[in-house]
Amino acid sequence: MPKVEQEELKKRLVAQALKEGFVAARICRPWDVPEVPARLRAFLDAGYHGQMSWMEERTNWRADPAALWPEARSVIMLAESYTPDENPMDVVGLPDRAAISVYARGKDYHDLVKKRLKRLARWLIAEAGGAPEVKVFVDTAPVPEKALGQAAGLGWQGKHTNLVSRDWGNWAFLGSIFTTLDLPEDRAEPDRCGSCRACLTACPTEAFPAPYQLDGRRCISYLTIEHKGPIPLELRSKLGNRIYGCDDCLAACPWNKFAVEASDLRYAARAGTVAPPLAELARLDDATFRETYSGSPIKRIGRDRFVRNVLYAIGNSQTPALRPVAQSLCSDPDPAVADAARWAVQRLT
């Protein structure tokens, strides 16, 4: 395809992406992230991945997007906003209520973003001619989306390791379309964090050993979602009332003054996900939990881990009225739940 036609196709592709609901679309090469292998190796060698053993699998793909699909010539990186309607930190000050991460309050983003990516990929195939091949990815394959996002110019990886943009802050999901098409690439976005440390100082568990480094073993998102079994004693009190994920470092970023409103209403918070009462959540059995969080990313951690987190929040609540709720779960069949219940009772005695 001649260069003029490539430029025109890219222009129409970006316009179509915005029409689909993405806030930005940029293009890089699969091999434009040479720093990833060393950074990934250092992360794994330090043990920062904790129990996420899957991060050690297929490290050749995770470290080198070009190895994931050698035929790919271009990566179309896309961002989709999920900016909250309210300050997500307000609920952190409500001791008898639960704080659920903004991204998990609506419908599961994996489903929404992937469908949007597939529609855009079909459009690209139809418009490009010559039957180009495409593959779409949303957070479930060994793709370094944040590094590719920076290489493509979507934004830069901030000191909290998440992607930040001058145009839409850091409340966004990332998706990618790998294609055999040779599309004109964009320039990488330079780091614009400057001397700011707002995200680092906002972390309740001090999970950042240094700027641009995250110790997942101390991250509340990791602890409440990925970590199996009892959470270490020294970290439980630092969880506060955060029962699924954590928004502290994201909410602290000053670039959010440019945040873009979410275009998909399905990202809006579902009933029962904004400051739900801890007492009600602690009483969920497996069937009710599955029904309540059907279609939500919360469902994947299961009732036991969810209630474990709720009990830590109860223990941190300084609300003696919640003590009977914790007592009722001291003999729960799940060892981690029973342990969390006993811990909560002791804290409220």
HSE at residue 103, side-chain half, CA atoms within 13 A, is 22
- At a CB cut-off of 8 Å and minimum separation 6, what does 84 contact? 102, 171, 269
The catalytic residue among 139, 186, 191, 264 is 139
Q: Are 248 and 204 in contact (CB under 8 A)?
A: yes
Residue 86 is classified by DSSP as S
DSSP helix/strand/coil, 25: strand
Cα angle 14-136-1, degrees, rounded to a multiple of 5: 55
Q: Nearest CA to 238 among 335, 298, 313, 346?
A: 313
Which residues, at least 6 apart from 292, have a Cβ–Cβ distance to it below 8 Å? 272, 284
> How crowded is residue 264: how many other Cβ atoms within 10 Å of its Cβ?
16
3-state secondary structure of 136: strand
The verdict on whether 285 is a catalytic residue reads no
Residues annotated as catalytic are 139
